[in-house]
Amino acid sequence: MKIVVIGGTGLIGSKLVAKLREHGHEAVPAAPNTGVDTLTGEGLAEVLTGADVVVDVSNSPSFADNPVMNFFRTSTTNILAAEKAASVGHHVALSVVGTDRLQDSGYFRAKQVQEQLIKDSGLPYSIVHATQFFEFVGGIADEATHGDTVRLSDALVQPMASADVAAAVGRVAVGNPVNGTVEVGGPEQFGVDEFVRKALTFRGDPRTVVTDPEARYWGVLLNKDTLVPGPDAQLGTIRLHEWLPLNPPPAK
């Protein structure tokens, strides 16, 4: 099966390409550094020739409201048009658990637009809603830092390792289109504050995590279950205490 992975050289995409190849599929990474630009359409027709499935795990280079909306609207429109021309049989997109509950954020408004474009396209599709990645714990802490204090909500989160995300997306990609949404999450729930506190403590980070139910998460006020998947979610297996020793923070 030929599977084109948009964003195939990034965090999730590179792992997904490797997993698909391990299982005997022709997995082709498509990204600006492979000559494919979804914003201009450059290279899309060529890379999609003969493709059975397209998986979009790309992300916007900017999270500012207008650029992120332009990225997801333009990129998704171009990908879907190219898929129709190439008679691709399955469009898979990676999105976020709770997207429809996070609409105070420009990023999640853009993800909602992306999802709606897919649903309205007439193409067979599957949307994978994943919870927060372990890999972004440092970014969550940095965004919520004021001085030496990290102020975070105690709303629940069910984070997962990027390797588990890639495995889940791969399973969906080689299956039949669900024409709906599949939720995936990690094996454990924490408060957002507890999640970050555990990571900072393990890494010897001197910042203090303060619990504040009114603290915003990427600009959004959270309810207790805003970020957690439903009871039918597929769960990964990698736990935070297993992941942390193998993943030191990136050098700054």
Read off the pLDDT of residues 24-57 as tens digits, 9 standing for 90 and up.
999 999 999 999 999 999 999 999 999 999 999 9
Measured N-to-C along each axis, helices 106-120 and 65-86 cross at an angle, to the nearest 10 degrees, of 20
Q: What is the pLDDT of residues 78-112, one digit of tens each?
A: 999 999 999 999 999 999 999 999 999 999 999 99
Residue 251 has pLDDT above 80, yes or no: no
Looking at every residue in the chain, the average pLDDT score rounds to 96
Regarding the domain with residue range 2-246, which homologous superfamily does it belong to in the CATH classification? NAD(P)-binding Rossmann-like Domain (3.40.50.720)
User: Residues 77-116, buried b or exposed e (16+ Cβ, 10 A)?
Assistant: bbbbebbeebebebbbbbbbbbbeebeebbbbbbbbbbbe
Torsion over CA: 245, 9, 38, 182 (sign): negative
Residue 203 has pLDDT above 80, yes or no: yes
Per-domain residue ranges of the chain: 2-246
CA distances from 196 to 143, 150, 159 (A): 12, 9, 11
Q: How confident is the model at residue 66 (pLDDT cuts 50, 70, 90)?
A: very high
Q: What is the pLDDT of residues 119-156, one digit of tens each?
A: 999 999 999 999 999 999 999 999 999 999 999 999 99
C-alpha to C-alpha distance for 90 and 21, rounded to whole angstroms: 18
Residue 252 has pLDDT above 70, yes or no: no
Q: Give 252's contacts (C-beta < 8 A, 6+ positions apart).
A: none
C-alpha to C-alpha distance for 91 and 223, rounded to whole angstroms: 32
The H or E element containing residue 228 is: none
Q: What global pTM score does this model have? A: 0.95
The DSSP line for 27-41 is EEEESGGGT-BTTTT
Q: What 3-state DSSP class applies to 145?
A: strand
Q: How confident is the model at residue 63 (pLDDT cuts 50, 70, 90)?
A: confident
Residue 162 has pLDDT above 70, yes or no: yes
C-alpha to C-alpha distance for 119 and 127, rounded to whole angstroms: 9
Q: What is the pLDDT of residues 175-197, one digit of tens each?
A: 999 999 999 999 999 999 999 99
